[in-house]
């Protein structure tokens, strides 16, 4: 595994729409491993492939719950309910936090690293992470949705 460099806000890469994954091979597994290591080393709870410069629909999430590491390939939100407004940040914009409205509960369908269908239901932080990371795959950043920025210390 290797840590990869994180692309920062302002870079065009983060504004591109990512392409679907079609090959479930060693290259994908290495990307997933590297993304997870990069996320954990930076104390993040989610990371999307464009944040390491790869324009593919790949996400890793770990909100330190019973799910542990979640790997999502070609994820799609298929259901959402309720709303929550909490402060949110991004590893591509360290130190900046803002309040964003998200669904309280989200259902996601995706493929795992072997191309097998998986379904997740998330509430709270996990629901937020699903929305934030899947937004990244469509070139959308949390800053686009901030209702109010958290004052810097």
Closer Cβ to Co ion, 43 or 117, answer by number:
43
71 is catalytic: no
63 makes contact with Co ion (CB under 5 A): no
N- to C-terminal Cα separation, the chain: 35
When asked if residue 14 is in the footprint of Co ion (CB under 5 A), the reply is no
Interaction between residue 73 and Co ion (CB under 5 A) = no
Residue 61 interacts with Co ion (CB under 5 A): yes or no:
no
Least Å distance between CB 7 and Co ion? Answer: 10
Tell me the β-bridge partners of 110. 118
Decide if residue 137 touches Co ion (CB under 5 A): no
Closest CB 19 distance from Co ion, rounded Å: 19
Quick check: 90 binds Co ion (CB under 5 A)? Answer: yes
Instruction: Report residue 99 as tokens.
Output: 């309040």
- Listed in sequence order, the residues at least 6 apart from 29 whose beta carbon sits closer than 8 Å to its beta carbon are 113
Cβ neighbors of 110 (< 8 A, separation 6 or more) are 59, 72, 73, 74, 75, 76, 117, 118, 119, 120
Dist CA 8 CA 91 (whole Å): 8
**Closer Cβ to Co ion, 63 or 90, answer by number:** 90
Cβ at position 112, least distance to Co ion in Å: 22
Active site residues: 133
Residues that bind Co ion (CB under 5 A): 90
């Amino acid at each position: 595994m290797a840590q990869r460099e994180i692309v920062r806000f302002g870079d065009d890469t983060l504004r591109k729409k990512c392409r679907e994954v079609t090959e479930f091979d060693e290259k994908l597994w290495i990307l997933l491993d590297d993304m997870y290591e990069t996320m954990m080393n930076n104390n993040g709870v989610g990371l999307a492939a464009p944040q390491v410069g790869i324009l593919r629909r790949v996400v890793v999430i770990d909100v330190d719950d019973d799910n542990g590491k979640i790997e999502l390939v070609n994820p799609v939100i298929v259901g959402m309910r309720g709303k929550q407004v909490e402060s949110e940040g991004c590893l591509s914009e360290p130190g900046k936090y803002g309040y964003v409205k998200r669904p309280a509960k989200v259902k996601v369908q995706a493929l795992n690293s072997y191309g097998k269908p998986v379904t997740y239901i998330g509430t709270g932080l996990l629901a937020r992470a699903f929305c934030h990371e899947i937004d990244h795959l469509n070139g959308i950043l949390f800053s686009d949705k901030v209702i109010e920025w958290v004052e810097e210390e």
